[in-house]
């Protein structure tokens, strides 16, 4: 699909109606006249009760369901007017789909499931496996590549399905109740992945859900009832200004008078704090303020800078990028898809992160050698002075913690206790810093 300007909708549903079994006794009008426009890089949720036509709308956008009346355009092309060859190409390259029921093929390995869309395109086995493996790594399921679907948890299966939907790098991801079958922890994980695909990879996402807790993830929510769109709500408007002037509820409509100083103040604040939503204003404002104040004082960075950094760090931990690329990405502006940090901070952060990652790697690979280097690393980083008596105790305590024979609280007590009483005699603040450093290294080496 040719890349469109942000001023054009990537998806346009125009007076679409879907009637199942038309003219038969079991005729079902699943979608009444519906018009929807979705712009590039938007994350849109379609929300409504079971049976209201959400899946029908989604499948119409995907081309799996053809219009009874009206039309659907994707990337400027009308689906109903495509030739067979165009339809096949459209399916393979423009849209990735994720379903509640995963739809993995049980007789194929996880890796083969992921690269299946490429098999249909007749791509070279070696390259397609490489692409598949990179995706499995990104979603933390590389170790499952040679297993079969029935050996995986629900959350893992959905990550496989997401990897499969991405294998041909489509611009649009359609997800039909993707967390409907998952426990809450796996659900959060999958929702975070979709958010990441939108924010970092700039995919246009349309997710169907009937769970109101998910709504805050989206830029825009389309509410459906009885086969109709009944309302739209905007959390963050990514549409061009001409489109945004449509009939939908705008944030400032919380205030009856749109030109009131309160409405203007909220509008301005929302531009500064991208995660601030009008619905937070009543009850959730204090937690939001606390979070921002904390971030401001502790890290002097905004939410967006932090969440982009987190995304790059994730890529680094999956080994999809190297240290140099991490520093570069952090140092790139937010507008260009980077972290929006300055160069100095990007460099020093990367140096610090790499040192910790390196310690985790050494400790994991060789516990013996790891213990020595870790002890020396801590001494150097925290400028600790030891006596002949306290040094071996320090090394012994580290050993116990690394072997998981001692927890962090006991370690802290022993590091802090005076040498006379059998401790290492560090001051409390240094001891706490060291314990935190060790815990993060333990976390990174854990797999």
Nearer to ligand ADP, 148 or 223 (CB): 223
Q: Which is nearer to ligand ADP, 69 or 120 (CB)?
A: 69
Nearer to ligand ADP (CB atom), residue 99 or residue 349 = 99
Contact 263, 257 (CB under 8 A): yes
Residue 422: name its binding partner from ligand ADP, Mg ion, none (Cβ under 5 to 8 Å by kind). Answer: none
Token pair recorded at residue 304: 């967006």
The DSSP letter of residue 182 is S
User: What radius of gyration do the chain's Cα atoms show?
Assistant: 26
Residue located via tokens 């469109």? 4
Query: In the numeric block, which tokens belong to residue 61?
Result: 């956008």
Alpha carbon of 155 to those of 168, 170, 224, 328: distances in Å?
Answer: 22, 22, 27, 32
Sorted by sequence, the CB contacts under 8 Å of residue 436 that are 6+ apart come out as none
Quote the least distance from Cβ 59 to ligand ADP, whole Å: 8
352 CB-near residues (< 8 Å, 6+ apart):
none
Q: Based on CB atoms, which residue is closest to Mg ion, 30 or 353?
A: 30
**Which uninterrupted H or E stretch holds 379?**
helix 367-382
Q: How far is the CB of 414 from ligand ADP (least distance, A)?
A: 58
Number of residues that bind Mg ion (CB under 5 A): 1
Sole residue written with tokens 């990735």 = 96
Name which of 70 and 240 has its Cβ closer to ligand ADP. 70
Q: Which two tokens stand for residue 59?
A: 């499948």
Considering Cα of 365, then 369, then 371, then 375, what sign does the dihedral take?
negative
Nearest distance, CB of residue 200 and ligand ADP, angstroms: 28
Partner touching 20 among ligand ADP, Mg ion, none, CB below 5 to 8 Å by kind = ligand ADP
**Pairwise CA distance, residues 38 & 205, whole Å:** 9
Q: How far is the CB of 30 from ligand ADP (least distance, A)?
A: 3
Q: What is the nearest approach in angstroms of Mg ion to the Cβ of residue 197?
A: 21
We find the least distance from the C-beta atom of residue 116 to Mg ion, in angstroms, to be: 23
Write down the least CB distance from residue 268 to Mg ion, Å.
Answer: 39
DSSP string, 340-364: ---HHHHHHHHHHHHHHHHHHHHHH
Contact between 350 and Mg ion (CB under 5 A)?
no
The stretch among 50-58, 110-118, 190-198, 345-353 that binds Mg ion (CB under 5 A) is 50-58
Among 55, 62, 156, 305, interactor with Mg ion by CB under 5 A: 55
CA angle 79, 80, 84 (to 5 degrees): 80
Tokens, residue 42: 């938007």
53 binds, among ligand ADP, Mg ion, none (CB under 5 to 8 A by kind): ligand ADP
CA 176 vs CA 150, 290, 296: distances in Å: 21, 35, 37
CB of 158 to ligand ADP, least distance (A): 18
Shorter beta-carbon distance to ligand ADP: residue 56 or 235: 56
Of 227 and 340, which CB lies nearer to ligand ADP in the complex structure? 227
Judged by beta carbon, residue 52 or residue 166, the one nearer ligand ADP is 52
Helix or strand run (H / E) with residue 232 = strand 228-234
- Binding residues vs ligand ADP (CB under 6 A): 20-21, 28, 30, 48, 50-56
Q: List residues binding Mg ion (CB under 5 A).
A: 55
């Amino acid at each position: 699909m040719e890349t469109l300007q942000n001023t054009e909708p990537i998806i346009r549903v125009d007076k679409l109606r879907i009637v199942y079994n038309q003219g038969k006794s079991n005729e079902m009008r699943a979608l009444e006249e519906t018009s929807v426009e979705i712009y590039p890089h938007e994350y849109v949720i379609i929300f409504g009760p079971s049976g209201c036509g959400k899946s029908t709308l989604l499948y119409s956008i995907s081309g799996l369901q053809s219009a009874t009346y009206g039309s659907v355009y994707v990337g400027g092309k009308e689906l109903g007017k495509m030739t067979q060859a165009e339809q096949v190409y459209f399916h393979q390259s423009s849209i990735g789909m994720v379903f509640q029921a995963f739809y993995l093929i049980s007789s194929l390995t996880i890796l083969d499931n992921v690269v299946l869309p490429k098999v249909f395109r007749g791509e070279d086995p070696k390259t397609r496996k490489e692409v598949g493996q990179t995706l499995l790594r990104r979603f933390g399921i590389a170790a499952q590549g040679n297993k079969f679907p029935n050996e995986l948890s629900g959350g893992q299966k959905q990550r496989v399905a997401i990897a499969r939907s991405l294998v041909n790098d489509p611009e649009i991801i359609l997800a039909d109740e993707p967390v409907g079958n998952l426990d809450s922890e796996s659900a959060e994980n999958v929702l975070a992945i979709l958010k990441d695909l939108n924010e970092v990879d700039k995919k246009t996402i349309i997710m169907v859900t009937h769970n109101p807790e998910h709504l805050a993830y989206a830029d825009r929510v389309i509410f459906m009832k009885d086969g109709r769109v009944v309302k739209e709500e905007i959390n963050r408007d990514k549409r061009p200004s001409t489109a945004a002037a449509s009939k939908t509820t705008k944030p400032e409509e919380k205030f009856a008078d749109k030109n009131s100083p309160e409405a203007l103040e909220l509008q301005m604040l929302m531009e500064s704090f991208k995660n601030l939503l009008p619905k937070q204003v009543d009850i959730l404002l204090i937690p939001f303020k606390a979070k921002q104040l904390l971030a401001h004082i502790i890290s002097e960075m905004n939410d967006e800078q932090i969440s982009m950094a987190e995304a790059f760090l994730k890529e680094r931990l999956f080994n999809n990028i190297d240290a140099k690329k991490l520093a570069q990405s952090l140092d790139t502006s937010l507008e260009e898809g980077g972290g929006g940090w300055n160069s100095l901070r990007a460099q020093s952060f990367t140096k610090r992160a790499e040192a910790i990652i390196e310690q985790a790697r050494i400790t994991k690979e060789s516990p013996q050698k790891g213990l020595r280097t870790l002890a020396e690393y801590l001494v150097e980083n925290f400028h600790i002075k030891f006596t002949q008596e306290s040094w071996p105790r320090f090394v012994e305590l580290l050993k116990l913690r690394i072997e998981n024979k001692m927890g962090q609280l006991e370690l802290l007590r022993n590091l802090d206790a005076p040498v006379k009483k059998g401790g290492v005699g560090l001051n409390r603040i240094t001891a706490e810093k060291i314990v935190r450093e060790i815990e993060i290294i333990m976390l990174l080496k854990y797999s």
